[in-house]
Amino acid sequence: MIGWIGRAGLAVCACAVALAARPAVAGYTSTLPQGAFLLDGGWVEADTEVAWGNERQPLPLLQGLDRYEPGGGLQGTITARPFVRYRMVVGQLFYGVTDSVTVAVGVPIITSARIAPNLGWTPGDYQTSLGRSYSEDDFWQWARSMGQPKPAAYDGNHGDPADIVVGARWRLPELAWLEALGARAALSTQIALPTGVDPDPEELVAAGTKVWDLHSYADAEFHLSLERQWLWDGVPRLTVGVDGFYGWMRPRTLTTSTGARHPLLLTYAAYVGPTYTLDPGDFRAVGAAIEVVPLVGPTWATLVSGHSLAKARALPPLLTLIAGHTYNSVGQSRFESASAVWSWDREKQWKPGDKNTVRLAAELSLLRMGLPLQLYVSYRNQEWVPGRNTRASNSFVAGARLLLKFW
C-alpha cells in the first residue's frame, strides 16, 4: 500500500504489483495430463506511480501534507510523486494428479523493490521571522534541527519472499449443459501462505512483500471458469473464456510506528497503541480472455507425444496470442486502533473501489516439435482503463515452462 500515515507524516509501501503468481497453465480451464509436471520460471518487473481517485481521475500515489508552525501559520505543503518499481522471480510447480485435477505451488522472490519519493514543496504563509515564506530548504533544515531527516529513496527487499501460493484446479466433467454450450468449466482455488515480510514501521519510505502490500492476489481465492473453443482442421484456433472469482483478505495485526527514527512524522504509538488491526477489503472480480492461434507449426511424432502423431496433434500449437480484461471490485478496508480519528484517516485512503487490468500475452510452444518447452511474455496494464480508489500497476512478465513426465 502507499499512503500518508497520519496527518503529520507519510509512509510509502508496496502497492498493486501485478504479480504473476497465478496458474501458468494456459487458459482458464486447462489442466495437466495425469502424472505430468510443469516447472515454470518467470521474471516480473512492475511499476506503480498512479492512484485513481473517487471520480476515476489520475492522482499521485501520495497527496500533499500540510505543515504548520507550532501554534502558528502554514509553513508549507510537502508534495510527493512516488515511483515504485518491483522486480521479482516467480517459480511455479504444477502436477497433474489426474487428467482433470492439477495442483500447484508458486514461490515469488523479490529481487529488488525501489521507491523514489520525488518530494517537492509548496510555500505556505508569510513568516515574519524570515521576512518570507518557508522554502523547501528552510523547512528541512528546521526539521533536521528537530531530529527529523528528509526521507530518502528506498532500495531493499533483496531476496525477500512474498507470500507463497498453493492452489488446485478441477476441470468439471462434461455435463449436459456444458456439452450444449460446447464449453468446458473448471473450479480453482488458491491460498497464500504468510511467508512475506512487513515493511519497517519506523521507516517513512519502505516496502513490504505480503498480500496486502502487493495487492495483486488475495489470501484465499475461489474461481469458476468457462471456456469455449472453435476448431479448424482439428486445431483450436480460437478460445474464449470467462473467469469469476472471490478473493478473501484476512484481518491482520500490524505494528504502530513510535517515531524512533522520524519523530516529527511517524510518532503514533502513544495514542494509536503499540499495534492496530487492519481488515482489508475483499475482491470480487470477473475476467474474460480471447486466445487466437495464428501459427500451428510443424507437428512430429516424438518422445514428447509417445511417438504418436495423433497425440502430437493434441498438443498446444506453436504460437498463441492472448488478450484479456479483468474487472476487480475492491471492498472497504477497516482499521481498528486506540484512536478513532487515526483509524478513520486510514480508512479514507482505502474506500471501496475497483481496478481494471488489461493483459496482452504471447506463448511459444515447442511441444509439437518434440521439445517439452514453452516460452511466454505478458504485459499487464491498469492505466488504460481508469479505476477508482485503487493504485495502478503496470507489469512485464517473461518466462519459460518445462514439461516433465517420469512415469
Grid cell locating 375 = 516460452
Q: Where residue 130 falls among pLDDT bands split at 50, 70, 90? A: confident
Q: Which residue has the cell 502423431?
A: 309
Share of the chain above pLDDT 70, in %: 94
Q: Where residue 10 falls among pLDDT bands split at 50, 70, 90? A: very low
- Cα–Cα distance between 43 and 395 in angstroms, integer? 10
Residue 11 confidence (pLDDT) above 70: no
pLDDT of residue 26: 58
Burial of 337 (0-12, 13-18, 19+ CB in 10 A): buried
User: Side chain identity at 260, as an amino acid letter?
Assistant: A
pLDDT of residue 233: 83
The average pLDDT across 125-137 equals 90
The average pLDDT across 170-198 equals 92
pLDDT of residue 70: 78
User: What tens digit of pLDDT does each residue of 262-271 get?
Assistant: 998 899 999 9
- Domains of the chain (ranges, CATH numbers): 2-405 (2.40.160.40)
Residue 95 confidence (pLDDT) above 70: yes
Q: Which residues contact 387 (CB under 8 A, 6 or more apart)?
A: 52, 56, 353, 354, 355, 356
Q: Higher model confidence: residue 219 or residue 232?
A: 219
The average pLDDT across 225-248 equals 94
Least confident of 13-17, 153-157, 328-332, 386-390: 13-17
pLDDT of residue 3: 30
Q: Is the dihedral of CA 172, 178, 179, 182 positive or negative?
A: negative
Residue 273 confidence (pLDDT) above 90: yes
Residue 401 confidence (pLDDT) above 90: yes
pLDDT of residue 304: 87
pLDDT of residue 9: 35
Please give the angle made by the CA atoms of 105, 107 and 113, to the nearest 5 degrees: 155
The average pLDDT across 71-97 equals 94
Residue 127 confidence (pLDDT) above 90: no
What is the DSSP secondary-structure string of 126-190?
EETTTTEEPPHHHHHHHHHHTT-PPP--EEE-TT-B--EEEEEEEEPP--HHHHHHTEEEEEEEE
Residue 361 confidence (pLDDT) above 70: yes
Residue 245 confidence (pLDDT) above 60: yes
Q: Where residue 141 falls among pLDDT bands split at 50, 70, 90? A: very high
Cα-Cα end-to-end distance for the chain: 45
Quote the mean pLDDT of the chain. Answer: 91
Residue 407 confidence (pLDDT) above 90: no
Q: Higher model confidence: residue 79 or residue 176?
A: 79
Nearest CA-CA partner of 29 in 316, 240, 236, 343 = 240
pTM (predicted TM-score): 0.90
Q: Where residue 73 falls among pLDDT bands split at 50, 70, 90? A: confident
Whether residue 125 contacts residue 74, with contact meaning beta carbons closer than 8 Å, is answered with: yes
- Cα–Cα distance between 217 and 254 in angstroms, integer? 19
